[in-house]
Amino acid sequence: MNSRNPTISDVAERAGVSVPTVSRVLTGAARVSPAKREQVEAAIAELNYRPSAAARVLVSRKSQTIAVIAGNTSRYGYAETIRGIEIAARAEGYTVMITVVESADEDEVDRAVSATLTQALAGVIVLKFDPPGVAALGRLSTDLPVVALSGTRETGLRQAVLDEASAAEELTDHLLGLGHETVHHVRIPPSRRVDGRTTGWRRALRRAKAPIPPLLDATWLPRSGVGIGHALAEDPSATAVFCGNDEIAMGVMRGLAEKGLRVPEDVSVAGFDDHPLAELWSPPLTTVEQDFAGLGRRGFQLLLEALDGTGVRLYSSERPRLVFRESTAAPKARS
Amino acid sequence: MNSRNPTISDVAERAGVSVPTVSRVLTGAARVSPAKREQVEAAIAELNYRPSAAARVLVSRKSQTIAVIAGNTSRYGYAETIRGIEIAARAEGYTVMITVVESADEDEVDRAVSATLTQALAGVIVLKFDPPGVAALGRLSTDLPVVALSGTRETGLRQAVLDEASAAEELTDHLLGLGHETVHHVRIPPSRRVDGRTTGWRRALRRAKAPIPPLLDATWLPRSGVGIGHALAEDPSATAVFCGNDEIAMGVMRGLAEKGLRVPEDVSVAGFDDHPLAELWSPPLTTVEQDFAGLGRRGFQLLLEALDGTGVRLYSSERPRLVFRESTAAPKARS
DNA sequence: GTGAAAGCGCTAACAC
DNA sequence: GTGTTAGCGCTTTCAC
């Protein structure tokens, strides 16, 4: 067993042609006579030859790899977005490389970004969902095409987003329309000071001239909602709660339940994202369906257009859709 | 603005040294006088130079990239495992490339595997969680070190696993010990004909000489548990149900609830994985805690040992821990 | 310690 | 159509 992988010259020799001819059948860059093409293909199959991406990249200066930089890979929205990117990329023959940046710490971000840019890349997609994502985008000094996913809009930046502010506003409106005097908001860790979900919530309350209750901050852990639920149970003005995501909403509902409050009879609770478990929860959760995989797909599309030189689009936005289930209802008098 | 990235010769020129000298400070392969080293480092910083991984790989034949092949990236166990791999890899200076193989279709698997092996890789980690993973592992004709995560044990294969069979057996024992005559099992899509969770369940029933109810098959979708819950509600012998994962358990519980049955009063339900939402469910779910991130970490460790040539370990197994919560209890008479 | 020379596996440019 | 030549950005000999 020869441990060295076969190279293009092995193929050329075996097929009785020159190296560039093999390259031509590989890339399809120029026409090759059917006879030689056949010999080459046979040699490739016999040797189980696979071209070296490294060598190709070195000379052609074109890479078929994109990097995805994300603050996390396992939380629902993140994982789905990455999945969407991967599927779209693979369909176009691109490979994807993942870089996780767990904190916004300057050194860590720099190290991660540097290591990533060392690779030969066609472009980069950054999940601008959180501070690490924002930090990574900021330190991405490169001439490569870059696409940011979500986050606040920036001029000149290629960006695919979900219009979370509008959806949050609509959801808050819905709660207000049910007759609640106001809506409390439990915020998930924001990517910056502003965050679409919180912005939309505030916008709706302002427009309705409803009182704006103090913001409640959760962490990414679903259980962080439990304590918040306990606190909310003590507050008679809290008849409707809009949570930054479904997992936190589930934590809040458990906290409420532990204090003897029922959803939606005593308190209405709404989430965000339409997590796969939201419909199975008791009661099924009113939420906002977010097409994260689609976001990833649109992001890759934007990158591809930048690569082609076609497409002058810099921005792709999609409006998430509300899903009304049983966790929200009109308020009843609370003691 | 010069759009070409600086190369090692740009750095050499600027620092007034030869190219190999720059290489030496980069790799630390040989000693360089402090004076020159300083000049080189200054030049690198000024030019914002980053070595090309492609060129390095080409000449040194050593890659710092590993590929992870998985049937999915967003389901809980998969995502956590990948996260564990990524963290361990990054800590050792490795970059990770993700390849998703969605079906076990031969062509799709071949295409994905081929595209992956085109890259210059140090090694490959395969999530042998499902048929696509098994298929990918089978077609991975390469001299590269390969590590499989989970799945049935194979001699000669480097493998890190979670001992799911033992944990499933222990969980089934627990239910039997509570006084249930038997335990029903809802299976998630298995990676082959045998599957650790199902095996452990059957083993426990056999040992206890309890009747073995027919296997109930769920899909990966949590909601596929709902219909199974409905069916189980019609079966008076079903007083305890062990579900292949927590999400399916939640679906089953919803199905049961829709038919008016209470958990655990009428039926005990246990899950598997200790999903972050399992503790928040009502009632909190009895389950098995699986350290997926640890599995990923151990898998990478095995790969690293193979790369070093140190370590002769081929196998790393860990026993998951049971978590008793409120969804399981002693049976009561059912109408 | 340091530089000159060679070459990794491939594609681009050019001649025929 | 096809082969010859050059060279991508690096590391690896091998002199000195």
Range of the domain at B258: 165-290
Residue that finishes a domain, picked among B10, B42, B63: B63
Task: Please give the pLDDT value at position A3.
Answer: 58
Tell me if residue B125 falls in helix, strand or coil.
strand
Is there contact between B14 and strand D, defined as CB under 7 Å from any strand atom?
A: no
Residue B93 CA to residue B99 CA, distance in Å, equals 20
8-state DSSP, B283: S
Q: How far is the CA of A136 from the C1' of D7 (A)?
A: 35
Q: How far is the CA of A142 from the C1' of D2 (A)?
A: 39
Across the interface, which of B222, B257, B282 has its CB nearest the CB of A277?
B222
Q: Which residue is closest, via its CA, to the C1' of D7? A: A59
* Sheet containing strand A240-243, strands side by side: A216-217, A184-187, A240-243, A268-270
Residue B8 within any structural domain of the chain: yes
Residue A282 within any structural domain of the chain: yes
More confident residue, B142 or B117: B117
List chain A residues with CB under 8 Å of B223. 276, 279-280
Q: How far is the CA of A81 from the C1' of D9 (A)?
A: 35
Q: Could you please report the per-residue DSSP string of B190-251?
A: PSSS--HHHHHHHHHHHHHT---PPPEE--SSTTHHHHHHHHHHT-TT-SEEEESSHHHHHH
Tell me if residue A121 falls in helix, strand or coil.
coil
Residue A159 within any structural domain of the chain: no
Residue that finishes a domain, picked among B63, B84, B106: B63
Residue B105 within any structural domain of the chain: no
Q: Which residue is closest, via its CA, to the C1' of D13? A: B20
Express as a percent the part of chain A with pLDDT over 70.
Answer: 98
The rounded mean pLDDT for chain A is 95
Residue A129 within any structural domain of the chain: no
Residue A44 CA to residue A47 CA, distance in Å, equals 5
Residue A323 within any structural domain of the chain: no
Tokens of A324: 């009304």
pLDDT in tens, B86-110: 999 999 999 999 999 999 999 999 9
Tell me if residue A284 falls in helix, strand or coil.
coil
Q: Could you please report the per-residue DSSP string of B250-264?
A: HHHHHHHHHTT--TT
**What type of residue sits at position B306?**
A
Task: Please give the pLDDT value at position B3.
Answer: 58
Residue B199 within any structural domain of the chain: yes
Across the interface, which of B48, B79, B100 has its CB nearest the CB of A141?
B48
Residue A222 pLDDT grade (very low, low, confident, very high; cuts 50, 70, 90): very high
CB A250 to CB B277 under 8 A? Answer: yes
Q: Does A219 touch chain B (CB under 8 A)?
A: no
Residue A131 within any structural domain of the chain: no
**CATH code for the domain in which residue B230 is found:** 3.40.50.2300
pLDDT in tens, B231-282: 999 999 999 999 999 999 999 999 999 999 999 999 999 999 999 999 999 9
**A81 in Cβ contact with A293 (< 8 Å):** yes
* Minimum CA–C1' distance nucleotide for B49: D9
pLDDT in tens, A55-64: 999 999 999 9
**A70 in Cβ contact with B96 (< 8 Å):** no
pLDDT in tens, B197-216: 999 999 999 999 999 999 99
**CATH code for the domain in which residue A41 is found:** 1.10.260.40
Give me the number of domains chain B comprises: 2
Task: Please give the pLDDT value at position A1.
Answer: 42
Q: Which residues contact B280 (CB under 8 A, 6 or more apart)?
A: A222, A223, A225, A226, A250, A251, A254
Q: Does the pLDDT at position B1 exceed 50?
A: no
Residue that finishes a domain, picked among B12, B32, B63: B63
8-state DSSP, B309: S
Interface of A with B in 121-150 (CB under 8 A): 141, 143
**A194 in Cβ contact with A131 (< 8 Å):** no
